[in-house]
Amino acid sequence: MIKKGNESWFRMLFIWRGSVLPKLLPRLILLLLLSIGIVFFKGTLFNYKVPLNPTPFTLFGIALALFLGFRNNASYDRFWEARKLWGALLNDTRSLVRQSITLTSYSAQSEEVISFVRYLTALVYALKHQLRNTDASADLQQRLPQELAARINATLYKPIMILKELGCWIKEAKLQGKMDSIQQTAMDENLNKLSDIIGGCERLASTPIPYTYSILLHRTVYLYCLMLPFGFVDSLGWFTPLVVVFIAYTFVALEAIADEIEDPFGTEANDLALNAMSISIETTLLEMVEQPLPLQPTSKNNIID
Amino acid sequence: MIKKGNESWFRMLFIWRGSVLPKLLPRLILLLLLSIGIVFFKGTLFNYKVPLNPTPFTLFGIALALFLGFRNNASYDRFWEARKLWGALLNDTRSLVRQSITLTSYSAQSEEVISFVRYLTALVYALKHQLRNTDASADLQQRLPQELAARINATLYKPIMILKELGCWIKEAKLQGKMDSIQQTAMDENLNKLSDIIGGCERLASTPIPYTYSILLHRTVYLYCLMLPFGFVDSLGWFTPLVVVFIAYTFVALEAIADEIEDPFGTEANDLALNAMSISIETTLLEMVEQPLPLQPTSKNNIID
Amino acid sequence: MIKKGNESWFRMLFIWRGSVLPKLLPRLILLLLLSIGIVFFKGTLFNYKVPLNPTPFTLFGIALALFLGFRNNASYDRFWEARKLWGALLNDTRSLVRQSITLTSYSAQSEEVISFVRYLTALVYALKHQLRNTDASADLQQRLPQELAARINATLYKPIMILKELGCWIKEAKLQGKMDSIQQTAMDENLNKLSDIIGGCERLASTPIPYTYSILLHRTVYLYCLMLPFGFVDSLGWFTPLVVVFIAYTFVALEAIADEIEDPFGTEANDLALNAMSISIETTLLEMVEQPLPLQPTSKNNIID
Amino acid sequence: MIKKGNESWFRMLFIWRGSVLPKLLPRLILLLLLSIGIVFFKGTLFNYKVPLNPTPFTLFGIALALFLGFRNNASYDRFWEARKLWGALLNDTRSLVRQSITLTSYSAQSEEVISFVRYLTALVYALKHQLRNTDASADLQQRLPQELAARINATLYKPIMILKELGCWIKEAKLQGKMDSIQQTAMDENLNKLSDIIGGCERLASTPIPYTYSILLHRTVYLYCLMLPFGFVDSLGWFTPLVVVFIAYTFVALEAIADEIEDPFGTEANDLALNAMSISIETTLLEMVEQPLPLQPTSKNNIID
Amino acid sequence: MIKKGNESWFRMLFIWRGSVLPKLLPRLILLLLLSIGIVFFKGTLFNYKVPLNPTPFTLFGIALALFLGFRNNASYDRFWEARKLWGALLNDTRSLVRQSITLTSYSAQSEEVISFVRYLTALVYALKHQLRNTDASADLQQRLPQELAARINATLYKPIMILKELGCWIKEAKLQGKMDSIQQTAMDENLNKLSDIIGGCERLASTPIPYTYSILLHRTVYLYCLMLPFGFVDSLGWFTPLVVVFIAYTFVALEAIADEIEDPFGTEANDLALNAMSISIETTLLEMVEQPLPLQPTSKNNIID
């Protein structure tokens, strides 16, 4: 995620960071050169004057903008749903920590409560690693008893296996007379919510927007931009390359951003800062049980991962 | 579902798999030939010059794009709701397995818990078969006691009948003193959710977007594309066929995709991979009770069903 | 509701059933004749040449398409919400039947459970009749004890009165020691949901989209279509009637469909099949308690009511 | 709220009731006169020919239609959310009445239950008066014990104070052994929902769409309509006034309706019929405890308030 | 938040307050001067006639309006979600106060209940300060016991730490026999909701709309407005500056409002009135336990913060 700065409206026009411009530059320069060539040859290909004019481009450009709008909406909804799920992860783990103190007869600094908090943080890190396809073993070993960490690490669906252990912790507390079954089911209700959160993230990660949509729009946007200079060469003359690159920049950039945030758990600049969020959750959970806090995340070039 | 690849922006322009192009090709070639004919005869029909020009096509093309946008949105919402329901099926069955271990006094490897898990997987497969109108008997026999499998197989609404059996399993556990009525109702709450999921899938499968919408849009899109060459023949000359086929490709393809994902439980390329999802659910549930996992699904041409 | 067929893309172009064309035909023929007259007189009225051209029609046509899009969305949302409510009715009554067996100590074939199921089906039919303003007495008498059927039939809000009876059934079961108050409140929770479903249907039935919207759009669409031939007569000549009727067909048809599904509980071709859904619900509930199933609904001309 | 009639498509074109036309007529006549003046002077102001043409109006008109669409959507969402809240008020009070009979050992005609129902109806009327800034005292005195009515009437947030009394009624019932704490919390859950409904209405009433949006759109719509005749005078001649007033009617009317339903608790023609809904709720609640029903609301000119 | 006045449609055209005009004036004047310069030089730059015409501006203007519509929607959704969260804060704290009286055996004026209410108001103020990055210490000291206020003030996530204290208050009440564990978990359920509300606000505050979107749209809007005069100078002559500034005003203002309400917890004119809402919540909570009410908020220039 890119941190929002406090730039004035004027400085925002020339900002480099957070823009997709660097990534798209090669393609736009290609288009620029092509447009210049087309203007130079006055829109003829091998002595054949290409008979395009702005009318079909107006019609089709607006249609294309509508379809891009649809794609943007769908991608942004995915991004925002992913963010909501990680927000719910924060809320729900906080609720569980509070309940482990107030619905049981354990005290806030007891061995058991602290171990419960460690399980929760391990779950959060395991989920992050699952969504990013990275190795969870180091983070698990730091937060779980060694034997358990090894056992969890060997499974396919690690966060859910840790969730089961949380359920067992509660069952144990009940067996030891630290809570009754009413309090147990109240905590279990929050485990259900955790299950929904984990599954919701898996759903977003495993099911993209139907691939055919992406292909179709990608193709249409690029083909449209390619044909654009032929349509405007007669009326705009040497301004054609500038206008074409300006229009193409907006269309291609929107398509690129939509493609980037469609999979919000990745590590591209506009993706969610799963790393920073994991540390935040760990911080607030440990603060609730008055334990030393972890190091806060730092941003590089205003980008937090 | 088509698996998303890692193609560069350039290679995505020429990809074949996952595109609806193959399916639409005959229609587009027809249109191409027609356009060439119209250009050849300079837009005259039996010596009568058809007096169409681009203006009404601009007006109507944008209106049509708006209506297509509406159809696309409605279809995509159905697709995504279906995916959410199957995601909820995963979350909820996982919660029930966790509860069968932690809210009862059964151990995770007990006979009873494993039979409970088998009932759940049978329910998942029964739902898949109901939604795809395929034969459930083999999958039921593999997961349920023979007598029960036969009884369920003879009913109309199989998943709901298995859900009732799950309720009976819980009632039995309570009668045997393995849980109290507080824990029973906590598990029953998740059975309510399963009932909502099953019914939600049935709703999507039985109620399409009002058929009149589909008919109206289908007709309008094709009629529009058919008249398009007459409108552009005078201004675009021999480029008319190319422009017409390009515009038609986008409109017709969008309509075709919307039509495909409107019924997300089918077996077309962009439909949901119910088969793979069923295996995933079975895998994670069996992993929770430390049973041997089923074979993982494989994809053919990057399409998983 | 119109059942979706398996027509090919080509046959869908000429389908008659499920189209609103029959209903709109007289209006479109009127417009056709008018357009022909306008072309014949070359756009003059009493020797005064009407100075309209396509430009304002382009501007306004697109604006109109946007507003129609808004109306369509709002109407479709109502249609879909209504369908969701009837879906929830199915899910919730199924859950209640399951609970009447598994949360009580009654057996599935006991007198009491079967009478509970009859109350639920009576509620479903009573709701259907309330929403369609039809007479519920026959359906109530078939499913309820005679005295109760008569008492319910005399009330204003029949489904809610039956819901109260369901609550009394549960109270009675508790008084007889067949369930404790935990199980009672678990079932009562589902009665709350039924109350929300009934009230949700009443809300949709009693509150249309603000009437002023409908009036405004209706007027604008028809006035627009009426003026259209004047705008295109100079540039399109004898093709004006064809183009005008084509554009008008799409606009007027969209408005007509939106108007039809705005009130989804009616009996028009695109409305919800309340009748068939009531029978479905009764079928699945009776199947759960192993009672003989009712006759399945049949469709006439592929339309189910 | 305006009751929807059964007018044919043709009669709907000339309907007066339910249209915003009467309210907008003076403004439209002003614009008509202005347009006629502009045509008369052929678009010159003090001998200076205003050089406007349709092109910028096309561009800007469509943009304006898009922004109006956004405003319409936001206003309609508020209207519909308000309606949903009052629907939930109906559902929830019905559920509470049912519970006061079936979760307690009171009978349906007992003194206590009837007084509970009176509290609920008082809450509904208090909410109506709060939202419309009218005097609640008469309606409170009719439904509450005199001393309590006076006490409530002196508070700022009357519905919430009555809600507290409902909670006290339940507490009292529990103290008297008429319910246990499980049944108490089940009813308390519905009081939570009532709290959400009351607060939701207060939120809609106190927070309009950001005022800057309204100002900006209002200004743009009127300025646009004002400049419109200059743009079309050259091409449309004496048809300019007609076309301008037609376009302006649609834009201005949409803005006016959006403004009206943005605050759905008011007393304008398209606002919610809070009065009629309050009477409906009272009717169904009293019917549930077999008390005499109140007079049904009547509509004046098909408008119910 | 700007209070909505009762201005007539005519007076609304000239209102200053609540408009973003003052803020944008310098930029618009700059554009005006530039346009005048361009008209004066008839669109030539250093003797080179810039060959722009309205066509690409029509195409791109509509596309831009669509993208602005997307941005507006996303921003408004954030604004409205923030408002809903603060509405839920009101509802939920009211519910907790009601429960502290009716689910415990404390009386409404007891020491304990009043201290519970103080904790809740402290939480509300702590949340406001966290969201606005202001100093919470004064407000905490006023509402909490001195020792606790100091302890909370030293933590990172103050509202959540106060939430834990509320949980401890409930645990204490149970230990003292003032409620049983059923009533405890009913209140705990509302603490879960508070956790969701706090976390939801933190989510909105920490995750803006992907920055790349903002940058892209900002740039496109300004570049578009800058090029606009070149496109219209030939056809509109000395009316170019007026038309350009009018179009630019709408586009730039929409972008500015979207940018303002995107972060709804700020202190700009259109942001949420967190201050006034905090006082409202405190008022209603204190009214419920019959304590003296705080001073009501006042508005300056009809702006409440």
pLDDT at D104 over 80: yes
What is the reported pLDDT for B13? 79
* Beta carbons of D237 and C199 less than 8 Å apart: no
Higher-pLDDT residue of D2, B256: B256
* Beta carbons of A223 and B246 less than 8 Å apart: yes
Per the rule left: phi > 0, alpha: psi between -120 and 50, beta: everything else, C123 is: alpha
What is the reported pLDDT for C275? 94
Chain C's closest residue to D18, CA to CA, is C212
Which pLDDT tens digit goes with each residue over C107-143? 988 999 999 999 999 999 999 999 999 999 999 999 9
The pLDDT of C251-279, averaged and rounded, is: 92
Phi, psi of C44 (to 5 degrees): -100, 145
D interface test, pick of C66, C81, C96, C185 with most D CB neighbours within 10 Å = C185
Q: Which residue has the tokens 């009135």?
A: E273
pLDDT at A274 over 90: yes
Give the whole-angstrom CA distance, residue B89 versus residue B277. Answer: 10
Among candidates A102, A246, A293 on the partner chain, residue whose Cβ is nearest the Cβ of E170 = A102
- Most confident of the ranges C17-31, C91-105, E266-280: C91-105
Q: Which of the other chains make 3 or more beta carbon contacts under 8 angstroms with chain E?
A: A, D
What is the reported pLDDT for C18? 67
Mean of per-residue pLDDT scores for chain B: 92
Residues pairing with A2 in the sheet: A303
Which pLDDT tens digit goes with each residue over A145-166? 999 999 999 999 999 999 999 9
* Beta carbons of D208 and E4 less than 8 Å apart: yes
Domain ranges across chain C? 20-43+52-288
Which pLDDT tens digit goes with each residue over B151-205? 999 999 999 999 999 999 999 999 999 999 999 999 999 999 999 999 999 999 9
Higher-pLDDT residue of B7, D169: D169
B168 touches chain C (CB under 8 A): yes
Which pLDDT tens digit goes with each residue over E150-181? 999 999 999 999 999 999 999 999 999 999 99
Mean of per-residue pLDDT scores for chain E: 92
C208 touches chain D (CB under 8 A): yes
Q: Name the band, by pLDDT with cuts 50, 70 and 90, for residue E268.
A: confident
Give the whole-angstrom CA distance, residue E43 versus residue E237. Answer: 10
Residues of chain B with C-beta less than 8 angstroms from the C-beta of A211: 1-4, 18, 270
What is the reported pLDDT for C188? 97
Residues of chain E with C-beta less than 8 angstroms from the C-beta of D72: none
Give the whole-angstrom CA distance, residue B180 versus residue B104. Answer: 9
What is the reported pLDDT for D20? 80
pLDDT at E74 over 80: yes
The pLDDT of D215-226, averaged and rounded, is: 92
The pLDDT of A127-149, averaged and rounded, is: 96
Q: Name the band, by pLDDT with cuts 50, 70 and 90, for residue D298.
A: confident
Closest CA to C122 of C295, C271, C263, C285: C285
Task: Note which residues in 130-159 of chain A have CB less than 8 A from chain E.
Answer: none
Residue A226 corresponds to which amino acid? L
Residues of chain E with C-beta less than 8 angstroms from the C-beta of D191: 95, 98
Which pLDDT tens digit goes with each residue over C170-216? 999 999 999 999 999 999 999 999 999 999 999 999 999 998 888 89
What is the reported pLDDT for B2? 80
Among candidates B52, B60, B213 on the partner chain, residue whose Cβ is nearest the Cβ of C239 = B52
Give the whole-angstrom CA distance, residue C46 versus residue C152. Answer: 67
Contacting residues for E72 by C-beta, under 8 A, at least 6 apart: D67, D70, E254, E257, E258
Among candidates C61, C260, C293 on the partner chain, residue whose Cβ is nearest the Cβ of B63 = C61
Among candidates E157, E200, E215 on the partner chain, residue whose Cβ is nearest the Cβ of A19 = E215
Report the length, in residues, of chain B. 305
D81 touches chain E (CB under 8 A): no
Task: Note which residues in 227-256 of chain C have CB less than 8 A from chain B.
Answer: 232, 235-239, 243, 246-247, 249-251, 253-254
What is the reported pLDDT for B18? 67
The whole-angstrom distance between E41's CA and the closest CA on chain D is: 17
What is the reported pLDDT for C245? 94
Q: Which of the other chains make 3 or more beta carbon contacts under 8 angstroms with chain A?
A: B, E
What is the reported pLDDT for A18? 67
Mean of per-residue pLDDT scores for chain A: 92
What is the reported pLDDT for E18? 67
Lowest mean pLDDT among A27-36, A252-261, C289-298, D224-233: C289-298
pLDDT at C53 over 70: yes
C207: tokens are: 């509150």
- Total Cβ atoms within 10 A of residue A223: 14
Among candidates E62, E202, E211 on the partner chain, residue whose Cβ is nearest the Cβ of A18 = E211
Give the whole-angstrom CA distance, residue E59 versus residue E37. Answer: 25
Chain D's closest residue to C180, CA to CA, is D182
- Total Cβ atoms within 10 A of residue A89: 26
Q: Name the band, by pLDDT with cuts 50, 70 and 90, for residue B52.
A: confident
Residues of chain B with C-beta less than 8 angstroms from the C-beta of C260: 212
Closest CA to D234 of B22, E221, E235, A13: E235
What is the reported pLDDT for A128? 97
* Beta carbons of A287 and E55 less than 8 Å apart: no
What is the reported pLDDT for A163? 98
Q: Name the band, by pLDDT with cuts 50, 70 and 90, for residue B12.
A: confident
The pLDDT of C80-104, averaged and rounded, is: 98
The pLDDT of E236-254, averaged and rounded, is: 92
Measured between its terminal Cα atoms, the distance across chain B in Å is 6
Closest CA to E232 of E245, E249, E220, E221: E245
DSSP state of E265: T
Which pLDDT tens digit goes with each residue over B197-237? 999 999 999 999 998 888 899 999 999 999 999 999 998 98
pLDDT cut 70: percent of chain B above it: 99
Beta strands in A1-50 (DSSP E): 44-45, 48-49
D244: tokens are: 């301008």
Residues of chain D with C-beta less than 8 angstroms from the C-beta of C195: 91-92, 94-95, 98
Measured between its terminal Cα atoms, the distance across chain E in Å is 6
The pLDDT of A108-118, averaged and rounded, is: 95
pLDDT at A268 over 90: no
Which pLDDT tens digit goes with each residue over A176-210? 999 999 999 999 999 999 999 999 999 999 999 99
* Beta carbons of D257 and C156 less than 8 Å apart: no
Which pLDDT tens digit goes with each residue over D66-91? 999 999 999 999 999 999 999 999 99
* Beta carbons of E156 and A18 less than 8 Å apart: no
C41: tokens are: 């007189």
Of all residues in chain D, what percent are helix, strand and coil, respectively (each to 5)? 70, 0, 25
- Most confident of the ranges A45-54, C227-236, D141-150, E53-62: D141-150
